[in-house]
Amino acid sequence: MEKGLLEIRIHGRGGQGAKTASQFIAESALGEGKHIQSFPEYGPERAGAPMKAYARISDKAISNYAPVISPDVVMVIDPTLMVSIDVTEGMSDKGILIVNTPKSADDIRKELKNYKGKLYTVDATKISIDTVGKNLPNTPMLGAFVKLTNAIPLDAVKKSCKDKFLKKLGEEKTNATINGIDMAYEAVK
Amino acid sequence: MYKDGRGGKVHKMSKTTAMTGAESAAEAMRQINPDVVAAYPITPQTAIAQNFANYVANGIVDTELVRVESEHSAMSCCVGASAAGARVMTATSSAGLALMWEIVGVAAGLRLPIVMEVVNRALSAPINIHCDHSDSMGTRDLGWIQIFSENAQEVYEHTLIAVRLAEKLLIPAMVCQDGFITSHGVENVEIFDDEGVKKFVGEHKYPYGLLDIKKPVTHGPLQLQDYYFETRSQQIPVMEEAKKEFVKIGEELGKITKKKYPLFDEYEMKDAEAVIVVMNSTAGTTKTAIDAMRKEGKKVGLLKLRLFRPFPYKEVSDALKHVKKIAVLDRSVSFGANPPLYSEVKNGLYDVKYTGKLHSCVFGLGGRNIFVEDIIGVFNRLLDGKLKDHDYIGLREE
């Protein structure tokens, strides 16, 4: 990892909000004076198909426009992808892997081959159903991301969320979304 | 009063936000507030037209937006509006630009200062809409100014320059950016205050407007063997002037942005033994590769073209003539001939009797990724004398 640069990869399926999550991370970091990038893996955009989104956060201007191949942090929004995709590809022993699942980190580690980095789990799906009443795990995952990386303040993410959703979803649903971020922040382990 | 399309705020101060290249192009268009924008609203169109249509619908600009039935019609509409004396812009990409081709040449022949955002994407077949430069390279001989942009910030600033440049010389100009990589990638973009930018852009005063009934003019008459040649040849010297004017107008914009806008950027070129010449986003990725290699003491550098038409032969050759090893990276091909950028660099080096080693590398067709590691590989092979005269990057050969 280059000093002052954090590279993030998010695995999800089309429609699960991996791209939105990467954008939230980037926009929150920008608000903190960082240089950022956020982009999906470009391909046919199909609901339900496996996809990746990327983000970079840096202290200085970012000139690398290639996809992230050695991520410092990987988030898996849909754990069913792990059957067919090596989500740890390109990660070092210092990597941070965050999986949305009701299972424990130890159980997930058994399913992975040769991954020696850090591993955490959070049931973001349950949190989103409990808070907003829908399966939208991407925003709670942001709470887990903040807790484990300290890359951006929790308030910055919550503010980005509020800015984005208040007009679109109204106060009640926006607060429920933010509540989900807080819950995942506490629950991840 | 001009408002931000998202938050309804007035842009009194410059502001850095997260934006895509499509959004930054639309932001420039918002500040320019053209009289007419004509665009085809369906694929291969990009989010530029969509974002700008929002500004129109929300009354943030007072542009007449014409949603036409094809790209050919889009450019035809632009030609008509521009000849009438309006400030005109459009946006397109890939097959859209290809369909427009006939009228793209007409715009230049009629000396209409239309500014077009081009999101560089592949041409079919096989069917593909991902990044390469085949689309704008297909129009390189039609008489348009072509400016290439490394990132969303440059797209924004180049668009502002393009309007002034086009209107000063009465030559249409296209501002190019990499499809998806720039057009859909979100990054920091600083948008400068509306008032300063509007003052910089100024008003369009077209001297031959069809609507000026006191000064009747004819546009596009028939000219056969008698005059066509003379009219066409007038496009040649004025194109040359675009180099000087680009720099001049860039200096003026630089007073607002505190940046420089040379014809091309030189990065770590001073003592470089091996140099890559490339355009658009890959220039950025090359900088990252150079930073890593310089730490290991390898003398590598980059020459990034901004202006491709007119091509600054003398300036580029002077910058490159002392470099021992050069690789020109093209994101398009010219079947049966040298790739476009390589071809121009080689042409220029003939005039300075270049004695070093010049290589061509084709990469990234149809959106094939190019990584920092790929660029480092090219530099290493270049330094070790292992790069072929005509090579490929990232091509599966089995």
**What residues in A contact B6, CB-CB < 8 Å?**
none
- Chain B nearest CA to A39, separation (Å): 5
Contact call for A65 and B18, based on CB within 8 A: no
Decide: helix, strand or coil at residue B218. Answer: coil
| A156 within 8 A of A90, measured Cβ to Cβ | no
**What residues in B contact A44, CB-CB < 8 Å?**
none
- Chain B nearest CA to A144, separation (Å): 22
Decide: helix, strand or coil at residue B190. Answer: strand
Ordered per-residue pLDDT tens for chain B, 398 residues: 344 444 444 567 889 999 999 999 999 999 999 999 999 988 889 999 999 999 999 999 999 999 999 999 999 999 999 999 999 999 999 999 999 999 999 999 999 999 999 999 999 999 999 999 999 999 999 999 999 999 999 999 999 999 999 999 999 999 999 999 999 999 999 999 999 999 999 999 999 999 989 999 999 999 999 999 999 999 999 999 999 999 999 999 999 999 999 999 999 999 999 999 999 999 999 999 999 999 999 999 999 999 999 999 999 999 999 999 999 999 999 999 999 999 999 999 999 999 999 999 999 999 999 999 999 999 999 999 999 999 999 999 87
Q: For an interface test with B, give the residue of A63, A157, A162, A168 to mutate (most B CBs within 10 A).
A: A63
Of A30, A36, A65, the CB nearest to B285: A65
Within 10 A of B314 (CB to CB), how many other CB atoms are there?
12
Decide: helix, strand or coil at residue B380. Answer: helix
HSE toward the beta carbon, residue B348, CA cutoff 13 A: 21
Contact call for A23 and B186, based on CB within 8 A: yes
A15 in the Ramachandran plot: left (φ > 0), alpha (ψ -120 to 50) or beta? left
**What residues in A contact B186, CB-CB < 8 Å?**
23, 26-27, 36-39
Domain spans in chain A, listed from the N-terminal domain onward: 5-187
B14 by Cβ neighbours in 10 Å (0-12 / 13-18 / 19+) ranks as middle
| Eight-state DSSP code of residue A138 | H
Which CATH number applies to B15-256?
3.40.50.970
Contact call for A39 and B188, based on CB within 8 A: no
Contact call for A63 and B287, based on CB within 8 A: yes
CATH architecture of A5-187: 3-Layer(aba) Sandwich (3.40)
- Nearest of B175, B187, B180, B206 to residue B85 by alpha carbon: B206
Rounded CA gap, B63 and B35, in Å?
A: 5
CATH architecture of B264-393: 3-Layer(aba) Sandwich (3.40)
Tokens of A104: 């424990």
Contact call for A26 and B18, based on CB within 8 A: yes
Identify any residues that bridge with A98 across adjacent strands, giving them in sequence order.
A75, A120
- Read off the pLDDT of residues A58-103 as tens digits, 9 standing for 90 and up: 999 999 999 999 999 999 999 999 999 999 999 999 999 999 999 9
| A112 within 8 A of A99, measured Cβ to Cβ | no
Domain spans in chain B, listed from the N-terminal domain onward: 15-256, 264-393
Q: For an interface test with A, give the residue of B186, B280, B304 to mutate (most A CBs within 10 A).
A: B186
ipTM over 0.90: yes
Say whether residue A1 is in contact with chain B using an 8 A CB cutoff: no
